[in-house]
Structure 1
Amino acid sequence: MAERFFITTLLLSIISFSSTVFASSPPCSSISITGLPLVRNISEIPQDNYGRPGLSHVTVAGSILHRMNEVEVWLQTFSPGTHTPIHRHSCEEVFIVLKGSGTLYIASNSHMKYPGNPEEHFIFPNSTFHIPVNDAHQLWNTNENEDLQVLVIISRPPVKVFIYDDWSMPHNAAKLKFPYYWDEQCSQEPLKDEL
Structure 2
Amino acid sequence: MAEISVPVFFFFLLCLLFFSAISEASKCSVQEFPVVRNISELPQNSYGRGGLAHTTVAGSLLHGLKEVEVWLQTLSPGSGTPIHRHSCEEVFVVLKGSGTVYLAPNSHEKYPGKPQEFSIFANSTFQIPVNDVHQIRNTNEHEDLQVLVVISRPPVKVFIYENWSMPHTASKLKFPYYWDEGCLELEPPPKDEL
Common fold, TM-score beyond 0.5?
yes
How far apart, in 1, do the equivalents of 2:160 and 2:65 lie? 24
SS of 2:40's equivalent in the other structure is: helix
Give the corresponding residue for 1:48.
Answer: 45
Q: Which of 160, 164, 175 lines up with 1:163 in the alignment?
A: 160
What does 1:19-168 align with in structure 2 at a 5 Å threshold? 29-168=26-165
% identity of equivalent residues: 73
Residue by residue, what CA displacement relative to the aligned partner does 1:100-159 show, whole Å, maximum 9, x if unpaired? 000000001232100000000000000000000000000000000100000000000000
SS of 2:57's equivalent in the other structure is: strand
Residue by residue, what CA displacement relative to the aligned partner does 1:82-113 show, whole Å, maximum 9, x if unpaired? 00000000000000000000000000123210
Give the corresponding residue for 1:194.
Answer: 193
SS of 1:51's equivalent in the other structure is: coil
How far apart, in 2, do the equivalents of 1:32 and 1:111 lie? 37
Equivalences, count = 170
Structure 2, unpaired ranges of 5+: 1-22
Amino acid at match of 1:151: L
RMSD: 1.5
How far apart, in 1, do the equivalents of 2:78 and 2:28 lie? 36
Structure 1, unpaired ranges of 5+: 1-24
TM-score for both structures, normalised by structure 2: 0.84
How far apart, in 2, do the equivalents of 1:157 and 1:182 lie? 12
Structure with greater Cα Rg: 2
Tell me if structure 1 keeps the 8 A contact 2:94–2:124: yes
- Structure 1 runs (4+) greater than 6 angstroms displaced: none
TM-score for both structures, normalised by structure 1: 0.84
SS of 1:88's equivalent in the other structure is: strand
Amino acid at match of 1:114: Y
SS of 1:162's equivalent in the other structure is: strand
Give the corresponding residue for 1:6.
Answer: none
Amino acid at match of 1:193: D
Tell me if structure 2 keeps the 8 A contact 1:29–1:65: no
